[in-house]
Structure formats: C-alpha cells, structure tokens
C-alpha cells in the first residue's frame, strides 16, 4: 500500500468499512504504538478472534490487540514485525503466532500486513489474517513423525554431531551424553562452543589410542572429509578408542552430507562402538584367507583328478590320495554307495576316530535319514555329469548337532579294476559365509544412514516449499496446483467470490470443474 496514495482518516473509515464487509479474508487495522488499539476489523477478522461483533471483541479485550496475542509469542511477534519492516522497502511483514480466545482455546494465526503513517491515528498496521491452526497442527504432527524416524535411525549411534556450515565449522550435539552416563560424555563436554577442527583435536587427544592418533587426525580433517563425500555417499573412519583401565574398543565415525535450507553444506557425524563387529570381521577375514588357500589347493587337486584312473595309478590308491588332501575327502563305490576311503578330516566330521571306521559304511549308516538322502542325491547328480559337480551345501555333522557350510566337489572316475567310483572333496566355508553376512549387514547400516540424510533434507525442503506457497497465495484470488497428466488439482486458495468455493487442501478433477 503506497503511503502517498492513501491516508487513513475518519472520513475514509466508511469506505474502508464498506470494502471490508466484502472481504472473505480477515482484515483489520490497529495502531502501531502501545497499547496497539484496534481501529477497525471486518467480520471475517472478528470471527478469527472468536468474537461475533466489535462490541463483543471490545468487551473481552478492550480493543487492545496486545491482549489477544499469547503471552509467550508477544515479544517475538512485535520484534519480528519491527525487523521485517525495517528491512523491507515497502514496510511489509508476515508473522505467525498464537492467540487465546475468550473461552481459553488457543489458535494459530498467520498475519500478513503493511505499516504506514496516518495523519489522525499516527503509525498504523493494515493486516490480513487467517486461521492456520489445522495446518500448523498437521505440520507439527508431520515434523514430530519425521523427528521420531530420525531419532530411530540415530539410535545405533552413541553420539551424533551435526556440522551446520562447513565454512564456519560451527556444529551442534544432535544426540549424545554430557553427564557421565556414557563413554562419550567427557568428549562431548570438551566439544561445546568450539569449531569442528578444535573439537576434533580435543576428541583425538582425549580418547583415540596412540597407535591411531596420527592417522585419525588426518582422516578426520574437515577438508579431507568434504573431498571424500564429493565422490561417495558416505565416508567412515575406524579407530581404536581408549575405554579406561587399558581396555581398547574399535569405534567407527560415519559422515554423510547435509544440504542446509540456506544453501550451505553441512555434515552429519555418527559415532558408534563396533568392537564386536570389527573383531569378528578380522577373525572371519583370517578364516577367509585360509579358505582361499584351501580353495587354491582344491583347484590344483581338481586339475589332477580329471582322470581318476590316472590318479589312482600315480598315487597307488584312492586312500593314499585322500590322506594328503587338506579338505575333507572321500571316495565311494558308485553302485553300492559304500565308502572306499577317506581322510582324517572327513572321519572327524562323520564323528569317527579314524578313516578305517568309515570304510564299508554307507551314508545311511553314518548320517540321519534326511542328511543321507541329501548326500545321495548329490552323488547321483555328479554321476550324471561329464565334469566335476561343484556346489554349496549346509549339513549337520555325524551326530546331527552342529551344522557346517561346505563347498563340495564330486566327480566320477573308473579305478584300475574298471569299477565306477565317486571322488568327493568338501571345503568348510562356514566362517566365510559369516563374513559375507557381516558385510551385508554393513551395507544395510550404510543405507539406513543415507536414508537419515534424505529425511533431514526432505523435511527442510518441505518447510521452505510450504512457506513459499503461503506467501504466494496471499497475493492471488485463487491458487491451484494441477497435474495435467492425471487431471488432479489441489486447491491452495479458493476464489472468495465462488459460491461453490473449495476448502484449502481439497483435491478435485480439474477439467470437470473449470472446462465447460
């Protein structure tokens, strides 16, 4: 509103009242100086303030606008208005606040107004007001839900730091203990009020094991983290942490990017105790290396047993061959299924003291019916093939108690007497399978942290979009969002002159309503 074009006077008031009666949105005028006395309010504004008439409003508030605003919001509202007007070229402002109705009910209002000087009334505010209680409650509910999701995703972490701005290195403690209840409490207290780099140095000095000190300082350098996140969705550093009394645990700090609403780059840092996971992984890696060595031995052996008859001649007998094989090995009569020979490893697996105790027995003599049938079916498959049959299986031991993951190779051959036989070799890969399961779990944890970042970013973007839509809608008679592919429209602001006006937020078929 241009001050040079319009000055509020007693003579102008009838015109203002006449215009106000035809406004669908709440409109009111009040003085800019204490006690902020209401000069005029149309019926729509009085309805928002819970009054049926100006007389009723005056009776409950003495027309003092200050008495309408919730006491906890009063200072914020007028400070925000003063700041916005000072920064605006056209003296405009927009604030959201609570009011308390005469019956004690609390409602949320959105006020968009303009400050101007009036000859008779001094400084005055012209304001449009809307009741946004339901929208505010819905947004609070959605925000609370997102916070619960984010908190749930943060639970695996002892502590979560959020770097608000990588340029200034300001950061906050999003989740963590500062009262001595966890091992992170001292480190968190040391970090308060510091930049990330200074806090990182104090953290390393306080808790990182000496053997990892130099490496961790280098890998936790903020510029190094930023470079890593340019090409990877997540970056993590594993280190040994001093737990006291000479005990050390493996810890991992994980970093993901966070795009702040002001366009600045932030980073989320999550600290967690991964001691059991890392030590198990190291043990499984050792087992995997042993399995790889066994696999290589097996590969070389398979090359040598392509011709079973030749092997029998070279080694003298199948028993001699099997006794020198590192994996669990055996040979059978293909027709009867009886074991001809095996090595000590297979005998122990079958719960026998020595290989001689296996010779002459069948699978049904050694294993339970289900396991025996499984082994027999594998034998039949190998006998039907012209090349070695290689497969993975999970079998119980001879007592039917513990289970093992095996990589089994079976191949047929003819011995020196012309008898069809079966040669088998089993490599125990149980530890290797556990390692793969641990790796899968790690990928799942990484995906969960990425999801946390997306939820944070989506929450910030949605908040900005909602504010933009509210601001844009106030300047138009009606605002709709139309999906032309689906013919579904959403009403953000209905035409006040439309007798069939739709409530805000209503979805409807666009063409059927407007194309006729």
CATH of the domain at 189: 3.30.450.20
- CA pair distance 452, 81, nearest whole angstrom: 35
**20 and 102 housed in the same domain:** yes
For residue 348, CA distances in Å to 333, 339, 399, 469 come to 21, 15, 11, 74
| In a shared domain, residues 160 and 210 | yes
Judged by DSSP in three states, 285 sits in helix
Range of the domain at 237: 139-280
Determine which of 148-152, 178-182, 260-264, 363-367 has the lowest per-residue pLDDT on average. Answer: 178-182
Domain shared by 321 and 244, yes or no:
no
Q: What pLDDT is stored for residue 316 in this prediction?
A: 47
Question: Looking at the chain, how many residues does it have?
Answer: 516
95 - beta bridge partners?
111
Report the pLDDT value the prediction gives residue 180, as an integer from 0 to 100. Answer: 58
Reference 33, options 153, 135, 115, 143; nearest CA is 115
- Which pLDDT score is estimated for 220? 94
pLDDT at residue 505 in the model: 77
Whole-number pLDDT of residue 294: 82
Compute the average pLDDT of residues 392-408.
76
Helix segments in 275-415, DSSP class H: 275-304, 308-315, 318-323, 344-349, 363-366, 369-383
Q: What is the pLDDT of residue 15?
A: 66
Establish if 210 belongs to a structural domain.
yes
User: pLDDT digits over 272-321, tens only?
Assistant: 889 988 888 888 888 888 888 888 877 877 776 664 445 445 444 555 55
Q: Which of 63, 98, 131 is the last residue of a domain?
A: 131
Q: 216 pLDDT exceeds 90? A: yes
Residue 245's pLDDT band (cuts 50, 70, 90): confident
Across 35-74, the runs of DSSP E, i.e. the strands, are: 38-41
- The pLDDT of residue 389: 92
- Both 187 and 225 in one domain: the answer is yes
Tokens representing residue 505 in the block: 């937020």
Number of domains in the chain: 4
The answer on 173 and 69 residing in a single domain is no
Q: Is the pLDDT of residue 1 over 50?
A: no
Under 8 Å between Cβ of 127 and 29: yes
In the chain, what percentage of residues exceed pLDDT 70? 80
Q: What's the whole-number average pLDDT of the chain?
A: 81
Last residue of a domain, one of 280, 296, 324: 280
83 within some domain: yes
Please tell me the pTM assigned to this model.
0.38
**289: in domain:** no
Q: Residue 451 pLDDT > 80, yes or no?
A: no
Q: Show which of 131, 165, 188 is a domain's final residue.
A: 131
Per DSSP, the residues of 420-456 read EEEEEEEEE-HHHHHHHHHHHHHHHHHHHHHHHHHHH
Same domain, 153 and 241: yes
Q: Quick one: 322 and 397 in the same domain? A: yes
Query: Of 22-36, 275-289, 482-496, where does the model show the most confidence?
Result: 275-289
* pLDDT reported for residue 187: 58
Question: Environment class of residue 33 by beta-carbon count within 10 Å: exposed (0-12), middle (13-18) or buried (19+)?
Answer: exposed
Helix H, strand E, coil C: the string for 125-145 is: EEEEEEECHHHHHHHHHHHHH
Give the pLDDT band (50/70/90) at residue 399. low
Predicted confidence (pLDDT) at residue 418 exceeds the cutoff of 80: yes
């Amino acid at each position: 509103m241009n001050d040079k074009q319009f000055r509020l006077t007693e003579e102008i008031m009838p015109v203002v009242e006449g215009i106000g009666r035809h406004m669908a949105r709440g409109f009111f005028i009040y003085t800019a100086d204490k006690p902020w006395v209401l000069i005029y309010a149309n019926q729509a504004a009085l309805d928002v303030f819970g009054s049926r008439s100006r007389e009723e409003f005056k009776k409950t508030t003495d027309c003092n606008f200050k008495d309408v605003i919730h006491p906890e919001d009063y200072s914020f509202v007028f400070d925000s208005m003063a700041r916005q007007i000072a920064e605006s070229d056209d003296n405009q402002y927009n604030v959201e606040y609570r009011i308390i109705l005469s019956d004690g009910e609390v409602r949320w209002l959105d006020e968009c107004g303009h400050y101007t000087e009036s000859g008779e009334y001094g400084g005055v505010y012209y304001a449009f007001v809307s009741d946004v209680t339901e929208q505010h409650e819905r947004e609070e509910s959605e925000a609370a839900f997102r916070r619960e999701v984010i908190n749930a995703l943060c639970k695996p972490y002892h502590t979560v730091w959020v770097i608000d701005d990588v340029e200034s290195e300001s950061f906050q403690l999003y989740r963590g203990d500062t009262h001595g209840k966890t091992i992170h409490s001292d480190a968190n207290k040391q970090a308060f009020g510091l930049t990330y780099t200074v806090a990182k140095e104090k953290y390393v000095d306080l808790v990182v094991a000496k053997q990892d000190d130099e490496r961790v300082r280098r890998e936790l350098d903020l510029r190094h983290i930023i470079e890593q996140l340019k090409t990877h969705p997540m970056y993590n550093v594993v280190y040994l942490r001093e737990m006291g009394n000479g005990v050390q645990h493996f810890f991992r700090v994980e970093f993901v990017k966070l795009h702040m609403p002001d366009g600045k780059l932030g980073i989320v840092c999550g600290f967690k105790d991964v001691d059991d996971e890392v030590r198990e992984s190291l043990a499984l890696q050792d087992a995997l290396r042993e399995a790889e060595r066994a696999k290589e031995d097996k590969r070389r052996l398979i090359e040598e047993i392509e011709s079973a008859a030749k092997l029998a001649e070279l080694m003298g007998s199948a028993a001699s061959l099997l006794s020198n094989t590192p994996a669990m090995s055996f040979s059978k009569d293909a027709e009867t299924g009886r074991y001809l020979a095996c090595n000590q490893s297979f005998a122990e697996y079958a719960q026998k003291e020595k290989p001689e105790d296996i010779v002459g027995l069948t699978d049904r003599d050694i294993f339970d019916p289900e396991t025996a049938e499984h082994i027999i079916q594998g034998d039949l498959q190998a006998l039907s093939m012209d090349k070695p049959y290689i497969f993975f299986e999970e079998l119980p031991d001879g007592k039917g108690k513990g289970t093992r993951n095996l990589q089994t190779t079976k191949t047929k051959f003819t011995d020196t007497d012309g008898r069809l036989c079966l040669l088998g070799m089993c490599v125990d890969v149980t530890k290797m399978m556990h390692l793969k399961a641990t790796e899968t779990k790690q990928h799942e944890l990484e995906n969960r942290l990425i999801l946390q970042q997306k939820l944070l970013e989506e929450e910030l973007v949605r908040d900005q979009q909602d504010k933009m839509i509210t601001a844009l809608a106030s300047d138009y008679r009606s605002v709709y969002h139309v999906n032309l592919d689906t013919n579904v429209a959403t009403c953000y602001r209905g035409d006040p002159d439309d007798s069939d006006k739709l409530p805000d937020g209503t979805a409807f078929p666009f063409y059927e309503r407007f194309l006729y």
